[in-house]
A and B are shown apart, each in its own frame.
Chain A
Amino acid sequence: MSLKYERKSSGEFERRPSGILRAAHAEPDRTSMQVRNSEEPVVASIAGDDELEQKLLRVLGVHVGEIMARSVMIHCTKMSNVVLSKLRNGDAERLLLQLEKGLRLYVDSVEGRKTCVEQIAALLKTRNPSSAQERQHVVSIQAEIDIVTARNIGRDICRDLGFSVTGQTRVATAISELARNIVQYTPGGTMMLASVDVPRPGISIVAKDTGGGIPHLDDILAGSYVSPTGMGKGLAGTRQLMDSFVVVTGPTGTEITARKYLAPGEVRRR
């Protein structure tokens, strides 16, 4: 496993901290060329964002040692399915969860793990501003934790748009309801959160799932249906909270599109 080669701007390869690699380097040039060529694609896919990865590795290295840091990082990015060069919203959280687990092997003290994870979280946060400009997020909704992720992203979008705190809460609540429906009643789905400009600035929520459709839709939307788990008014309530609310449901899945626009004169109060 030679992931230690970093191409410097000069085109040369440097940094070979592990013993194995030093040995490889000591061999004739031809061998090291081979190693380099075969490993290069892996480096590109895992360590696309050199700068961020270097920073993360430095932090990790302080806690677990330099060599372990790499293996922890590779394992965690793989397990959480995160590509550092294409960090999207939600990725950071998943990566941090995975890191926390991974660190248990190497760092005994709870305090030590916490500090390490916090430092890494801070680093990832500096990288995240790109997500604010991106303004469109697709969150996969499979488990409970995704509900929290989705509503936090929604809240962030609303805050960036200038929604008031009440407005942010409204949208976050609506997202929470829709996401919970997906988690509770279907095998899974996605939620697309995006900001829109026409006809007015606002947020658009598209929740798609592959479940068997919503039975008694009319009753539910009329508010006369009572579910065993919630108030039975999740969907009806969500419709109340949003400006537009369209449900398309069938035996192969459901797609709910909801929008909330910035009210004229609505200003952000933080």
Chain B
Amino acid sequence: MIADESRIPIIKLYGCLIVSIQIELSDSLVASLKDDIGSAIERTDAYGLLIDVSGMQLMDSYISRTIQDIAQMGCLMGVETVIVGMSPAVAMTLAEKWVSCNAPQ
């Protein structure tokens, strides 16, 4: 069950924003996450953004596109984005679908 109001917390640690996605994402949650990260970058003086995707069991085109957007957005706002913890199953699925992974590291 996914509650409509749930949000993903964004934690600031030293100069880094840490976002750990540990639940199944619905589309609206992805969209609000994007907004939240944007305003968090604006509010804080972070220079790094760490997105932990270890809890995600699935990344479809919309979710991966949004994460790519977030990284792009961070880049424009002077924040370096790193994506960590991708499960092999997700990585393999992404690799089979889309070959490129140029934007985020």
Contacts and interface: CB of A to CB of B under 8 A. Distances in A.
B98 A148 contact: no
Interface in B79-105: 87-90, 92-93, 96-98
A148 B96 contact: no
B78 to A, nearest CB: 25
Nearest to A177: B60
B1 to A, nearest CB: 5
- B contacts with A: majority SS: helix
Interface stretch (B22-30, B35-43, B44-52): B22-30
A96 interface: yes
Nearest to A152: B24
23 contacts: A97-B1, A144-B28, A145-B2, A147-B26, A148-B24, A164-B89, A165-B89, A166-B89, A166-B93, A169-B58, A169-B90, A173-B58, A176-B62, A180-B61, A230-B65, A231-B64, A231-B65, A233-B61, A233-B97, A237-B61, A237-B98, A238-B97, A240-B96
A140 B65 CA distance: 25
How many residues of B sit at the interface, in one of the four size bands?
A: 20 to 34
Given A145-B2, A148-B24, A165-B89, A176 B96 contact: no
B64 to A, nearest CB: 7
A209 to B, nearest CB: 17
Interface string B52-63: 000001111110
A196 interface: no
A168 B90 CA distance: 10
Contacts of B98: 231, 233, 237
A213 to B, nearest CB: 20
A230 B59 CA distance: 12
Interface in A147-192: 147-148, 151-152, 155, 164-166, 168-170, 172-173, 176-177, 180
Interface residues of A, number: 33
A234 interface: yes
B47 to A, nearest CB: 28
Contacts of A168: 89
- A contacts with B: majority SS: helix
Contacts of A121: 1
A93 interface: yes
Most buried by B among A121, A148, A168: A148
A9 interface: no
Contacts of B97: 173, 233, 237-238, 240-241
Contact of B65 (A100, A145, A164, A229): A229
Nearest to A269: B89
A11 to B, nearest CB: 40
A169 B90 CA distance: 7
A145 B1 CA distance: 9
